[in-house]
Structure formats: structure tokens, C-alpha cells
Amino acid sequence: MGANSGSVFDRSRRRRSLGLSAAAILAALATAGTVWPAQAASLKVAIVADALTLDPIASSDNPSIWTELLIFDQLVRPSKSGTELEPGLAEKWTVSPGGLEYTFTLRDAKFANGEPVTADDVLYSLQRAAGEKSDWARFFKPITKYTVLDAKTIKFNLDKPFTPLLNNLAMFSASILPKKEVEAKGEDFFQAPFGSGPFTVKSWSHGEKIVLAKNPNYWQAGKPAVDEAEIQVIAEDNSRVLKLKAGEVDAIVGIPFNQVSQLKSDPELNVGVANVFRIELVQLNTTKKPFDDERVRQALNYAVDKDALVKGVLRGNGQAAATALPIMAYHNEDLKPYPHDVEKAKALLKAAGYENGFKASMLVQAGDVTYRQVASALQSNLKDIGVDLQLQGIESSSQFSTTKSGNFEMSLSYASSDTIDPDQIIGFTSINPERANAFHTQWKDERVNALYDQERRTLDGPERGAMFKEMETRVHDGAPFIFLYHQGMPYASRKNVEGFAVLPTSNYRLEDVVVK
Amino acid sequence: MVLLKFTAGRLLQLIPVLFVITLIAFLLLRVLPGDPATLILGSRGTPEDIARLTTQLGLDRPLWQQYLGFLGDMLRGSFGQSIAYRTAVGPLILERLWATLALVGLSTVFAVAMTVPFALMAALHKGGVVDHVIKVFFVMMMSMPAFWLGVLLVLLLSIAFPIFPVSGFGEGVMDRLYHLFLPSFIIALGTAALTIRSLRSSLIDVLKADYIDTALAKGLRSRRVLLAHVLRNSLISTISVLGVHTSWVIGGTVVIESVFAIPGLGYLLLSSISARDYPMVQGLTVTFAVLVVTINLITDIAYAVADPRVKLS
């Protein structure tokens, strides 16, 4: 029993009705395609994640920082090359010979609402940055006294010299805010903040985009060249690249390394690779055997073929590293990366009493393709000297607290600098205790600690530079890390966009961008 | 009236469910290694900075106090301050809720639109070429990772033949629907793969039933028999498959959201877990729980509509 379905029902009719609905859908799509895509005349930039907050004293993620730098000015700012400071809101400044007194003269700048920027705003903003609610207070605490001399002049006094201060004043957290507005609106101000920078926030759809409008009162005449800049969030790397190719955005930041050369050959695109202040390394827990032995740590450095990593993983978009300092001011150019020398590595291991190698485990951030590639390359490199490396996947958010607790042998990680002065990153990676016990390696070198202390009290110049160079050399020799490479940050824009570039500080200045 | 009473009863049941879910979410989060203050300050913070921020975030209080605080916030209709975003959790979730609802809603519509005709074709040609083609096609679609299928379809339909936008969420209702078309379609392919199989086998069973022969013998038009008798009687099991799968889709759209840059709840949940943004994850857990209960409610009502023998009680 049962129906023979095929013969009972009228097939042709059914097919026709299906065909009809398919045609209707297609027709609807075709209209959709021609009518709806919005074409606003603005610069659209796609980045990997959304800004979390636009309050400079509560920010620590890159998207927030990059956006704040488009909205707010600081007294001074890094030059585009990231090698020196240039005037920002302050058109000039003087530092007293002893380094205890800083005097800043403000330029004639206005906030986006037309109000002039005064020394009172500077006082308010910096005291806020050094205050109880600030995550960045430590950077400004060395200022012990503020004196407003007149509407355009402000003087800071220090109890003892602190040379990195000027650089700290160039950080996003030292942004100059409109005092009246922030006091009147409180936290709400930061939902749509404005400052004296090139852009103001027009709208913010969390997780989707921030639309920035040109600040009509910006102090640099004729800038920005665009009326609007849209910072879009495209988390997926491939989608970001495709979006640029399709012309839906004008520029993107962050390109998978294996797609860089292919994009470079696209005649519609300009591709660049920024040498950002960043270093990839493997932390070695120097409190654990066998990593307590300097020779073992050096042997690991000799065993790793860094050039092969740069070629294979970064596809040439970076360079091998000699120490834990990015290539920035005062970097010791004479220092060369540990060469790939298996025999030397073996000899060092033998001298340390590990002729037959050893077993070790390395934390690797789970789910990250680049790190996984690097980890397996390290595994095979270290096998050549008899070291059996076990990879231990770890969620990125747990990695830092795990190494902090000291519960690790090796950990594949990176460090980056917020300022153009090496003080911040060297304090993090190489000084023990300071902030992080030499990035959790527990490595301690009294000479490096002493130099760090001295460098902070020495006026900027060649003498201070020499201290950094010596510190760098000692870190290189002491090898608390396997120094891997400095990885570039690839970015791209369409041919009709001029002047889009990621800076060594890894942000971008959209006021200089022209869309044709 | 019956419907109202039924709905009210269901909502009452929601209370203990929410209580248990919030407790589990709360405790699980605290078990995870990594604390918010260390994550926020990272390389920049001294131990003192981290201690200060922990106090500021209220995370140095005993766990029971934190949990009671969270329940209090929830009863007041907010979920407290987000740790990562430094602003109220409620509005941030609400802002993204619509994207997720639109994505889930549209994909369900597409799934149903594909299921009915394809299941009918497959059932009517049981064992034939059409049946096999449909089966193989949807199994293939379901087996492909969503991000890969997404990128492939974008390459085809946005780059090679620029019909759809590559990604984004658009402006205004129509533009948003247009932007949501491809991502919803991809989710729908996965759903349809399940519902087509389910509906096909029910259809085959029902087609064998005596009352279908009776209906045909009465001289009813075959089309009417197919839609009014065969299809309606086959729907029950497919409705439950669809309900269960839709609940899953609500939390499982992360990949599609990130491929198509849609500001939905899935991606927010993922990034909030990474940031150990406790209040945000708790708020999202409650939101997901409410959505899943709502879908179950809709599923039960759909049973009653499809089959008058089912009583809402």
C-alpha cells in the first residue's frame, strides 16, 4: 500500500511555481543591488576591532588609542617617523638645565566647539590623567606641581629629574580635554567626545563603526582634507581584504602575511608595511632548570633560524631580532641577531651539562595561525640540538596571568611600546622587579637595573643613549628570551587615496589623507 | 486567553531557570584563569596599579557580595558597568540585540523557504536522482566551515559578480536586509540541511497513510492534498528540529558575524569572555537564556497551530 508519489502529483506545475519564486527572489535581489548601497563621500578605514572606550585615561586597547589620537591633541607628539617629538598643542617648550622644570607655551588652538584651548584645560586634563581614576597615573605622577602662568603658558615642577616625562606627555592618556564640557557631562562626554584634534565623533555604533566628522576649528589650516572618516570594524582578516578589493572601504589595517605580496601586485591598491615598535620573543623562566643557565638560554638562541621564520612566516615582512628592544630610538645597531649555528648551540649545551638535550614545554596562544606556525618551526629547530619541545596551547587571555604566576618554562609572546622612547618597553622586558620582573622571566641584572635608574635621571642625549645601548647589549648576552623578530604591520589603501600610512607607533594620521 | 495563560506560565518558569543560569555563569567565569585588571593593564601596570583597578571594579569583594550585587543590578533592569567598555551593560547589549535577532529571524525564514519545497521534492522522488542530489548538496553545505563557505560566496557574489556587499550592516531597514542576505542564507543552509531530512522522512511516512489515499480517492486535487493534509501532518517533528536548531544559532553565529562584520551578540560574547568582562558575560548569558526560552515558547505555539490536537497547557 501507499502512494506512488511520482505519479500522483502534477510535477510540471510544481516545478513552475518553484521556478517562479526563484525568479521573484532574483528580481528582488537585482533591484536591491542597484538601489540600496549607500555611497557617502568619506574616507572609510577598516580595522580589526572596535574601540572599547574613548576616555584616554581608561584605554589600553589599540583601536581606542588610535581613535583617541584622531580626536584629541597632546602637548607634544611623536614625529611621523617615530624618531623625535614635535610640537602638538604646545608650540614650544623649555626644560630647565636640571630637568626639574618644564614650561609649555600653547598655540592658538580651539576645541571643536569653538572655545579656545587654555592652560586651565591642560592643568585639568593632566591632573585627571595623574588622578585616582586613571589607569595611567604612574606616567604623570612625577609632576609634583602645576603652575598656570597665563592663559597660554603652564609650568610643571618635578621633585627629581624624570627624563621619560616628555614622551609620556605625547601619549594618548595625556590628551588635552575641554575642561568645561567634561566637568558638565561627566562620563557621558566620552560617548561622543571632542577635543582640539582633527576629528570629532559624529556617531558610534558599538561593534560596527565610529563615524568621525572633520573638526572645523582644527588648528592646522586646510586639514583634514576629508569631511568624514569612518572607522569600520571588520574582525575577519579575509573579509577586510575582500572589502578593500571590492572598494567598499578605502583603506585597511592588518593583512595576513601570506596575502601581502598578492595585494602588492594589485594595480588598484597601494600596500605598505609599517615597522612598528614591537618584538616577538620566547620568554624563558630563568628560575627553572635548565633555563637558569645562561649558556642554555644562549644555546636556544643559536638554535633558532630567525631568518627562516621571517621568510617563511612573515613572508619577508619583518626582520630578525637581536634583543628585547624594538628598532627605535637608541637601538644598538652594532648588535647582531644570534646567528643560526647548531654546532655552537650544541657546544654550549654540552658545556652546561645538557649534552643529551632536555624536555621543555612552551605556552602558545591557541587559535592563532601565525603563532602556531612559529611554534612548530621552533619545535623542529630545537629538535636539532636535542631539545624536545612540547607545545601547550593556552587561551590568549590566560597567557599573561600564567606567565606572571611563574607557572611556565617557555612562552611564545610579544611586547610593544606605546611611546617612542625605549624607557617604557625596557622597563617592562628587562628590569626586575619594576613592573613585571623582566616580563616574567625573573631574569635580573644589577647593572641593567642601575642603568635604568640612571637613564631616567639623565637629560636626553647621547649619554643617555649610550646607557640604553649598554642595557641592550647586556640583555642580548644574558638572553632571558629567545629573540625572534620584529614583525611589520601591513596595511593597504586604494589608489585614489593619498597619504594613508600606519606609523611606527602603529596608529594613523587621517588628517593628512586625501581622497581623490 | 489560553495563549496568554500559557505564555505567563512559561515566563514564570523562566525565573528559576534564570537563577540557576546566572549562578553557573557567575561561578564559571570566576574559575577561569586571568583577571580583568591584569588583562586591562597588561604590560603597563605595576602590581599597585592592578590592585587599585581591582578595587575600583569591585572585584576584591567576597564572591557572595559580588553575586548579590549582580542579582540586584539585574532586578533593576541593568547589568551593571561593563569592565571593558566602562559603561552600562544593558544599552550595549540592546544595541547589538537587533543585529542578532535580524540574522536569526531572516535565516529562519530562508531555512523554512528552502525546507518545504526541497523536502517535498525529495519525498516525492524518494530514492530518485532529485532526492540524492538534494541530500548530497545540503550535507555538503552543512559540512563546510561557515567562514570558508562565507568567503567563497563573497568571492563569487560580491567580487566576481558584485551583487551583494562584501560585509557590513548597512543603514536603514532595507539596506540592512540586503546586507544580511548572504550571512542569513549561509546560516539557513546549515539549518535546512537538518530540517529537510526531518521533513522528508515525515512526509514519506505520511504519504503512506490511509487518510491520504482516502483524500485522493475523494477526488480532492492533489495539490490540496499535498499542502493541507500531507505537509501539515508532517510538520510537528520538523518544528522541533527547527526550534532546537534556532536556539543553537542564536549563540552560534560568532563566525558568521565576524566574517560579515555584523555587530551581533555572538562576537560580543566572545570578546567579553576574552576580556573577562564579567558583568557583560553575565548580562549576555541572561539575554541568551531569555531568547532560548522565547524560541521554545514560539515552538510550542507553532505545534498547536500546526496540529489542533496539541493543547497549550
pLDDT digits over A197-229, tens only? 999 999 999 989 999 999 999 999 889 999 999
For chain B, where are the alpha helices, taking DSSP H only? 2-31, 36-41, 47-56, 63-75, 89-124, 129-143, 146-154, 173-207, 210-217, 222-224, 232-251, 254-259, 265-274, 278-306
The predicted structure's pLDDT at residue A467: 97
B211-215 contact pairs (CB < 8 A, 24+): B212/A3, B213/A1, B213/A3
Spell out which residues of chain A touch residue B87, defining contact as CB-CB under 8 Å: 53, 187, 191
How far the first Cα of chain A sits from its last, in Å, is: 74
The predicted structure's pLDDT at residue B313: 64
pLDDT of A36 higher than 80: no
Whether chain A has a CB inside 8 Å of the CB on B261: the answer is: yes
Chain A nearest CA to B79, separation (Å): 17
Task: Indicate the average pLDDT of chain B.
Answer: 88
* Minimum CA–CA partner of A396 in chain B: B274
Whether chain A has a CB inside 8 Å of the CB on B162: the answer is: yes
pLDDT of B14 higher than 90: no
List pLDDT tens digits, range B245-283: 898 888 778 889 888 999 999 889 988 988 889 999 999
Q: Cis bond leading into B47, ω under 30°? A: no
Q: Which of A42, A208, A413, A434 to mutate to test the interface with B (most CBs of B within 10 A)?
A: A208
List pLDDT tens digits, range A354-413: 999 999 999 999 888 899 999 999 999 999 999 999 999 998 888 988 998 899 999 999
pLDDT of A8 higher than 80: no
Give the residue carrying C-alpha cell 599597585. Answer: B48
**E-strand stretches of A168-298:** 199-205, 209-214, 228-233, 251-253, 269-274, 278-284
Of A33, A243, A436, the CB nearest to B167: A243
Give the residue carrying C-alpha cell 630567525. Answer: A306
pLDDT of B71 higher than 60: yes
Task: Indicate the average pLDDT of chain A.
Answer: 90
DSSP for A49-92 reads: S--S---GGG--SHHHHHHHHHH---SEEE-TTSSSEEESSEEE
* Minimum CA–CA partner of A242 in chain B: B166
Q: Which three cell numbers stand for residue B235?
A: 510538520
* Minimum CA–CA partner of A394 in chain B: B33
Chain B nearest CA to A355, separation (Å): 36
What number is the average pLDDT over the span B295-301?
A: 88
B positions 75-104 inside 8 Å of A (CB): 84-87, 92, 95-96
Of A38, A236, A400, the CB nearest to B175: A38
pLDDT of A162 higher than 90: yes
Chain B nearest CA to A55, separation (Å): 9
pLDDT of A18 higher than 50: no
Chain B nearest CA to A207, separation (Å): 5
Q: Indicate the pLDDT class of residue A12, thresholds 50, 70 and 90.
A: very low
Spell out which residues of chain A touch residue B170, defining contact as CB-CB under 8 Å: 36, 38
Per DSSP, chain A holds a count of helices (H) and strands (E) of 16, 21
pLDDT of A300 higher than 80: yes
Chain A nearest CA to B51, separation (Å): 11
Lowest mean pLDDT across A166-170, A190-194, B183-187, B222-226:
B222-226
Chain A nearest CA to B115, separation (Å): 12
What number is the average pLDDT over the span B15-39?
A: 86
List pLDDT tens digits, range B157-190: 998 998 999 988 988 889 999 999 999 999 999 8
Whether chain A has a CB inside 8 Å of the CB on B308: the answer is: no
Spatial separation of the C-alpha atoms in residues B202 and B209, rounded to whole Å: 11
Spell out which residues of chain B touch residue A21, defining contact as CB-CB under 8 Å: 117
With CB atoms and an 8 Å threshold, state whether B170 touches A38: yes
Of A18, A401, A424, the CB nearest to B35: A401
The predicted structure's pLDDT at residue B211: 86
Q: What is the pTM of this model?
A: 0.86
**Which of residues B69 and A270 earns the better pLDDT score?**
A270
